[in-house]
Chains A and B, each alone.
Chain A
Amino acid sequence: MKKNNIIKLILIIVVVALLVVLPLVIKNDSTINLVILVLLYILLASSWNILGGYTGQTNLGHAAFFGVGSLTTRLLWVNGVPFLLSFLAGGVVAVILALIIGAPAFKLRGVYFAIGTLALAQMLNLTVGNILPEMSYNPDLANYQLLPRYYLFLGLTLITILTAAILVKSRIGLGMMAVREGEDAAESLGISALKHKLIALSISAFFAGMAGAAFAYYHVSFYYYMPFGSEWTFDPMMMAYIGGTGTIIGPIIGAVFFVLLKQLLVWNVGEYHLIIFGTLFILIVLFLPGGLVEIWQKFRTFLTKKTKRRKKVLLKATIQNEDGIQRE
C-alpha cells in the first residue's frame, strides 16, 4: 500500500514537472494552446465532479458558473480594474450565485434538479446575451503573451485537483458521498444534506468561476454570453463520465481523452470527424459504464486476483483450508 503511494507521488511529481517545463522546451504556441484547452477542461470537469460525481447532484447548469466567472472578470478587467482583482472576483461572484440559487435548487431532486439547473444556465445565457450583446476584446492585445496564461491555467488546475483530493478525504467529503449514496439515510445519521450540497456546490462553482476568469484572460475576444453556452456544461460533464465520475483521476483522463480525440479527428478525418466522434462516444458509454477508469480498475483487480490466486494455491499446499466457507 505504502509503496503504491510512493509510486503515485513520484508519478504525479513527474507529470507536474513535465507540464511546468513544457512551454520552455516546446516553444510552439499551437501545442501550448492545446494543453491550455486540456487544462481548461480538466478544470471544468473536475469542478463539475465535486458536485456531480461526489455529491450525486447532476448539475446541467455548470456553464452558469463558468459564464458568471468569465463575465465578471472580463467586465472588470476591460473597465480598468487590476487584473488580479478582477480575476479573483470571477470566482467570488460564481460562489455568490451558487449560494443564491443553491437553496431553491436543492429543493429539487433527480431529473428535476438536472433540468432546473439546465434552465437556469440557459436563462442566464439569454439574459446576458440580451443585456450585453457586444463583443469584448482583450484589453492588452498588443502585449498578449501565451506563457503567463499557460501557467495561470496550470496553477489553477493543480489547485483544483489538490482541493478536490483533500476534500474527498476529509470528513466533509465523506458526508458529501454519504449524501450521494442516500439522502434519507445520511440525514438520519446526523448529516445536513443541504449544508453538504451547498458546500459542494460552492466549491464546484468557485473553481468553475475561476476557470471562467482564466478563460476571460486567455481568450482574445468573445461575446459576453459565449461562456454561458450549454456546451460548457455538457462537454465537461461528458468528460467526467467518460473518465469516471466520483474519482479524482476520472475527469482528468476524460478531459485529456476527449479533447485530444476530438482534435485528432478534426485534423485528420475532416468533415466526418463529428460522426466518428459521436459513435466512439456512444460505444464508450454503452460498453464502459464506469468510464475509462474502469478499464484500469478491472486490470488491477485482474492482476491482484492472479497474484492472490497464486498465493492461495501455495497456502493450500502447506496448510489445510481453515474455513469451509466457499466464496468465489
Chain B
Amino acid sequence: MQLLTVEKLCKSFGGLKAINNLDFHVNEGEIVGIIGPNGSGKTTSLNLLTGFLKPNSGRINFRGEEIGGLPRHIVCQKGIARTFQLCKPFMDFTAMQNVMVARAYGRKPSANLHIAEKESIDILEQVGLGSKAGILVKDLRVMERKRLELARALATKPYLLLLDELMAGLNLTEADEACKLINQIRESNITIIMVEHIVKAVTCVSDRIIVFNMGEKIAEGQPEEIVHNPKVIEVYLGKSHA
C-alpha cells in the first residue's frame, strides 16, 4: 500500500529549478534510500514533504491526504517526522527534555508531561541514550546528538521518518551501528526515507533506492541494480564503485 505519493512536484529558487517534475512513491513499511550528487535537490525534496518549503506545483499525497504546503507543525502531527542535515537539538535542554517536547507535541501527544517524561526515557533507551537522559545537549558528543535527533523524531510517533544525512561524518563501523538502529526502527512499523552519501550504508538497509540528479529522478530500483546502473555511476558513484 502506498503511504506517500509524490506527483509532478516542482520547486524553484529564483531561476534555479531545484526540483523538476518529480514523481515517486513510498510503500508502507519500506525503507527508501535517496542518493544523488550534491545540490541535486535531496534536502529540498525533504523540505517540501515536511512543509519547510511550499511547492510551486505538484501534489504530495500522504495516507490519502494532500499535504503539500501545509504548515510544518501540522505535517508533523499528521505523522511525518524528520531529522536535519545539520543537527538542530535544543542546546540548553537536557536530552530528556528534548525528547519530551516531541512527545508532548507530535502525533498522539501524551496526556500530560509526567507521562511524556516516562515515555521519553523509554525512547532514549531505544536509541541507546538511556544513561544520558539528564545531561545537557551541549555536553553531548556529536554521535550522541545524532542519536538524540533520531530519538526526538521517533517521539513524535511518525508513520514516516525522513532522515537527512544522518550518517554524514561517521566512519563505516559507526555507520554499521546506525544501520542496525534503523532496521530496529523499521521493526516498529515506521516507514523510512533516508538521504545518504555513504553508499554502503544505503545499499545495506534500503529496500529500494531513488537517484536524483539536477532535481529530477534519474533512476530507481533495487540497491543491486542501482550500483551497477551506468548513469548513476557516471553522475554519482564514480569509477571506484563500478
A interface, CB within 8 angstroms of B: 169-171, 174-175, 177-178, 181-182, 184-193
Contacting A190 at CB < 8 Å: which of B90, B106, B113? B106
A185 and B106 contact, CB distance less than 8 A: no
Interface 1/0s, chain B 172-197, versus A by CB < 8 A? 00000000000000000000000000
B88 and A192 contact, CB distance less than 8 A: no
Q: Which of B23-74 contact A (CB under 8 A)?
A: 50-52, 71-73
Q: Closest residue of chain B to A184, judged by CB?
A: B88
Q: Give CA–CA (A175, B89) in the complex, Å.
A: 14
A185 and B89 contact, CB distance less than 8 A: yes
Evaluate whether A174 and B72 lie within 8 angstroms (CB atoms) in the complex, with A181-B91, A184-B88 already known.
no
**Which of A189, A191, A192 counts the most chain B CB atoms within 10 A?**
A189
A188 and B72 contact, CB distance less than 8 A: yes
Contacting B76 at CB < 8 Å: which of A169, A170, A181, A189? A189
Decide if B236 is an interface residue (CB 8 Å cutoff). no
Please indicate the chain B residues that have their CB under 8 angstroms from the CB of A193 in the complex.
73
Q: Give CA–CA (A193, B73) in the complex, Å.
A: 8
Evaluate whether A181 and B106 lie within 8 angstroms (CB atoms) in the complex, with A174-B101, A187-B72 already known.
no
B105 and A191 contact, CB distance less than 8 A: yes
B101 and A178 contact, CB distance less than 8 A: yes
Please indicate the chain B residues that have their CB under 8 angstroms from the CB of A170 in the complex.
113
A189 and B106 contact, CB distance less than 8 A: yes
Decide if B19 is an interface residue (CB 8 Å cutoff). no
Please indicate the chain A residues that have their CB under 8 angstroms from the CB of B102 in the complex.
189-190
B interface, CB within 8 angstroms of A: 50-52, 71-73, 76-77, 81-82, 84, 88-93, 97, 100-102, 104-107, 109, 112-113, 152-153, 155-156
Please indicate the chain B residues that have their CB under 8 angstroms from the CB of A185 in the complex.
84, 88-90, 152
B100 and A174 contact, CB distance less than 8 A: yes
Evaluate whether A190 and B52 lie within 8 angstroms (CB atoms) in the complex, with A182-B88, A185-B84 already known.
no
Evaluate whether A188 and B82 lie within 8 angstroms (CB atoms) in the complex, with A174-B113, A175-B101 already known.
yes
B90 and A192 contact, CB distance less than 8 A: no
B105 and A175 contact, CB distance less than 8 A: yes
A184 and B84 contact, CB distance less than 8 A: yes
Residue pairs across A and B with Cβ atoms less than 8 A apart, 22 shown, are A170-B113, A171-B104, A174-B101, A174-B113, A175-B101, A177-B90, A177-B93, A178-B105, A182-B89, A184-B84, A186-B90, A187-B51, A187-B72, A187-B73, A188-B50, A188-B72, A188-B82, A188-B153, A189-B152, A189-B155, A190-B107, A191-B105
Q: Give CA–CA (A181, B92) in the complex, Å.
A: 7
Q: Give CA–CA (A169, B113) in the complex, Å.
A: 9
B81 and A181 contact, CB distance less than 8 A: no
Chain B nearest CB, measured from A56 CB (Å): 10
Please indicate the chain A residues that have their CB under 8 angstroms from the CB of B156 in the complex.
189-190
Evaluate whether A187 and B90 lie within 8 angstroms (CB atoms) in the complex, with A171-B113, A174-B101 already known.
no
**Which of A169, A170, A182, A191 counts the most chain B CB atoms within 10 A?**
A191
**Which of B50, B90, B109 counts the most chain A CB atoms within 10 A?**
B90
Chain A nearest CB, measured from B156 CB (Å): 6
Please indicate the chain A residues that have their CB under 8 angstroms from the CB of B109 in the complex.
190
Q: Which 10 A-B pairs give the minimum distances between C-beta atoms? A: A181-B90, A190-B76, A190-B105, A185-B88, A189-B102, A187-B72, A178-B101, A190-B106, A192-B73, A190-B77
Q: Give CA–CA (A190, B152) in the complex, Å.
A: 11
Q: Give CA–CA (A187, B106) in the complex, Å.
A: 10
Contacting A186 at CB < 8 Å: which of B92, B100, B101? B101
Please indicate the chain B residues that have their CB under 8 angstroms from the CB of A192 in the complex.
71, 73
Q: Give CA–CA (A180, B226) in the complex, Å.
A: 43
Please indicate the chain A residues that have their CB under 8 angstroms from the CB of B84 in the complex.
184-185, 188
Q: Give CA–CA (A175, B91) in the complex, Å.
A: 14
Please indicate the chain A residues that have their CB under 8 angstroms from the CB of B152 in the complex.
185, 189
**Which of B89, B105, B109 counts the most chain A CB atoms within 10 A?**
B105
B104 and A174 contact, CB distance less than 8 A: yes
Q: Give CA–CA (A189, B154) in the complex, Å.
A: 10
Q: Give CA–CA (A41, B181) in the complex, Å.
A: 52
A182 and B76 contact, CB distance less than 8 A: no
Contacting B90 at CB < 8 Å: which of A169, A171, A178? A178
B73 and A191 contact, CB distance less than 8 A: yes
Q: Closest residue of chain A to B79, judged by CB?
A: A190
Q: Give CA–CA (A171, B107) in the complex, Å.
A: 15
Contacting B52 at CB < 8 Å: which of A177, A182, A184? A184
Please indicate the chain A residues that have their CB under 8 angstroms from the CB of B82 in the complex.
188
Please indicate the chain A residues that have their CB under 8 angstroms from the CB of B71 in the complex.
187, 192
Chain B nearest CB, measured from A1 CB (Å): 12
Please indicate the chain A residues that have their CB under 8 angstroms from the CB of B77 in the complex.
190
Please indicate the chain B residues that have their CB under 8 angstroms from the CB of A188 in the complex.
50, 52, 72-73, 76, 81-82, 84, 153
Q: Give CA–CA (A185, B88) in the complex, Å.
A: 6
Chain A nearest CB, measured from B199 CB (Å): 27
Chain B nearest CB, measured from A295 CB (Å): 19
A189 and B88 contact, CB distance less than 8 A: no
Q: Give CA–CA (A169, B104) in the complex, Å.
A: 13
**Which of B52, B88, B97, B112 counts the most chain A CB atoms within 10 A?**
B88
Contacting A191 at CB < 8 Å: which of B51, B101, B112? B101
Chain A nearest CB, measured from B180 CB (Å): 22
